Amino acid sequence: MRKMWGLITNEYIKIFSRISTIIMLIAIIGLAVGYNGLMYLSGQATVYNSFYEPTDYYREQIQFEQQNKQPGWETRIEMYTFLLDNTFTDNDWRGGAVYEAYALKEIANAPSIDTPEETDTPDGTDAPDGTDTPDGTDTPDGTDTPDGTDAPGGTDASDGTDTPDETGTPDGTDPDGAPGAKERTEAQAGFDTIITAVKNDDWKGYLNYQIAQMNADEDMTQEEKDLKSWIIQYRISHDIRPDYLLYSQDDKPRDNWQNKTLFRLENCVSMLNSELRLPYADRDHKKVAALNEAVLIDKHRLVNDIPVATQPDNPEIDQMGATFANNSFWSIFTTSARAISFVSVLIIIVAGSAIASEFSGGTVKFLLINPVKRWKILVAKYISVLSVALLMLLVFYVFNALLTGLFFGFGDIGAPHLYVSGDTIQSTSSFVFVAWKYLLGSIDLLTMATLAFAISSLTRSSALSIGLGVFLTLSGKGATLFLGESFKIDWARYLIFANTNLNSIMTRTTPFLGQTVSFALMVIAVYVLVFWITAWDGFVRRDVK
């Protein structure tokens, strides 16, 4: 063991005595500076135009409706005129409410379900165009029978509803989708309620209307209603307006974190309900689990007043808005693990020269005259390469944390990481969560280092082994992505480059359906074994001249 430690120490001395290693460490720090600097400049260049007034759009839509005159065009012109007169921003809840109100008005203004030739006279009998006789029944030309019901080709039944061959159904609606009298009346009442709330900026009245509509919705399950009702009642009891965007022109938060979390929670509930309505076999069960987890975490944050928290990655959910503000410490630091692939290129330089430099520099003979077996020298070199790779990753992690704080502030540095274990919410440090992401990224780093190490054992030129290692890494990843996304070639999942990005596999953002972490680790293990056997054969059994 002492000899092995001596060999490893000797390798560290060789590695860190090279100017190239010092340059690489500086490059890693520069990469952290560049990443955070670009994110900062990108954030400064972004304008959150919450107070955009789409007046030109409304005028264009009015002109479009006047020219095309599709069914309901007059109602839509009235809507755009109303929006134009009030110029609500796209942030204001009233803008969306107006669209909802006028959709109801289109229903209320829909044509009558009665056919023109069967209009009633004021006394309730049919017009003289061939319907009722003086005794109130229809003539034999195809209307009511004496008992007040429809004849085979007749019209209204005694209960006032239409038979199937007519327009309305017994519930007052039209079989071909046209609204019945009851539906039109309810739509008009809904329109009046929403417009009154909009004019008075009565967002609580609008939310109460939504609760009433939801309770009357027979398609929603009680569980769905309870959760949706909880969200709305939380808004009302905590006085949180249902406005949409969260930033003003000066990039200052206009609404609190609770508003953003509530919108995210509403979207998660909507997506979850859509999945649960599908037959069990057709559901995306991983998506259902992720949505359930997001709902539990968001409710936990709201109930326990946790303004900022990180949580497990899921792109389908994250696109609805993160659990922290844009351009904040955690929004930047949690994504810095994406840059680990650049560190992989740097470690290839170390691994690619580990053995080849001994042959190209002629020092291999002095190395082998020591009374130590070749395989021990090989293991010492490999351990030193891997440990240097992890050291580079640690440097990148630390400097990213420091620079992210300097660029974006350390205000949210104590934010917890929330995740679901069983049915309960668990909490840990968000630094541990990001470190875990870096650790998953290290698999790519160590695998590429092993590949470069194997190449180094086969060549006598450091330049060739480094160049070949970098080329295979970059081109291999690009080619694998191309095969999977463009050509849908499934066997490409067995290539090493399709399995090293475990962060992508965990978030299901790879081009290969059903790719799992366990499968990826098995594929990586096979390749690493092959790389190691290649390195062992190229160094231990190789003749030295």
pLDDT above 90 as % of the chain: 54
Residue 100 has pLDDT above 90, yes or no: yes
SS3 314: coil
Mark out the alpha helices in 245-305 (DSSP H runs).
Answer: 257-276, 285-304
**Over residues 284-303, mean pLDDT:** 90
**Owner of token pair 């609760």:** 211
202: exposed, middle or buried (Cβ count in 10 Å: 0-12, 13-18, 19+): middle
Tell me, what's the pLDDT at 129? 46
d(CA 374, CA 367): 9
Residue 141 has pLDDT above 50, yes or no: no
Q: Which of 11, 84, 118, 133 is nearest to 381 (CA)?
A: 11
**Owner of token pair 């560049």:** 34
d(CA 90, CA 120): 47
Highest mean pLDDT among 41-45, 288-292, 507-511, 522-526: 522-526
DSSP output for 155-218: -B-TTS-B-TTSS--TTS--TTS---HHHHHHHHHHHHHHHHHHHTT-HHHHHHHHHHHHHH-T
Tell me, what's the pLDDT at 535? 93
* Residue 427 β-bridge partners: 418
Measured distance between the N- and C-terminal CA atoms of the chain, rounded to whole angstroms? 30
Residue 90's pLDDT band (cuts 50, 70, 90) = low
Q: Which residues of 82-112 are buried (b: 16+ CB within 10 A; e: fewer)?
A: bbbeeebbbbbbbbebbeebbbbbbbbbbee
Query: CA dist 57 to 6, 76, 82, 242, 249, Å?
Result: 74, 13, 13, 23, 20
**Over residues 63-82, mean pLDDT:** 94
DSSP output for 316-364: HHHTT--SS-TTSHHHHHTTGGGGHHHHHHHHHHHHHHHTHHHHHTT-H
Give the tens place of pLDDT for each residue, 472-521.
999 999 999 999 998 899 999 999 999 999 999 988 888 998 889 999 99
Contact at 8 Å (CB) between 126 and 143? yes
Contact at 8 Å (CB) between 164 and 152? no
- Tell me how many degrees the CA angle 68-74-75 measures, rounded to the nearest 5: 125
pTM to 2 decimal places? 0.77
- Tell me how many degrees the CA angle 57-60-63 measures, rounded to the nearest 5: 150
Residue 382's pLDDT band (cuts 50, 70, 90) = very high
Contact at 8 Å (CB) between 170 and 179? no
Highest mean pLDDT among 131-135, 176-180, 374-378: 374-378
Residue type at 384?
S
**Over residues 348-367, mean pLDDT:** 88
Residue 29 has pLDDT above 60, yes or no: yes
d(CA 268, CA 294): 7
Q: Which of 209-223, 310-324, 359-373, 471-485 shows the lowest mean pLDDT across its residues? A: 310-324
User: Domain limits of the chain?
Assistant: 2-45+334-541, 52-201, 220-245+252-322
**Over residues 200-229, mean pLDDT:** 91
Tell me, what's the pLDDT at 252? 47
* 476 contacts: CB under 8 Å, gap ≥ 6: 495, 496, 497
Query: CA dist 322 to 30, 93, 315, 401, Å?
Result: 27, 21, 10, 19
d(CA 469, CA 450): 10
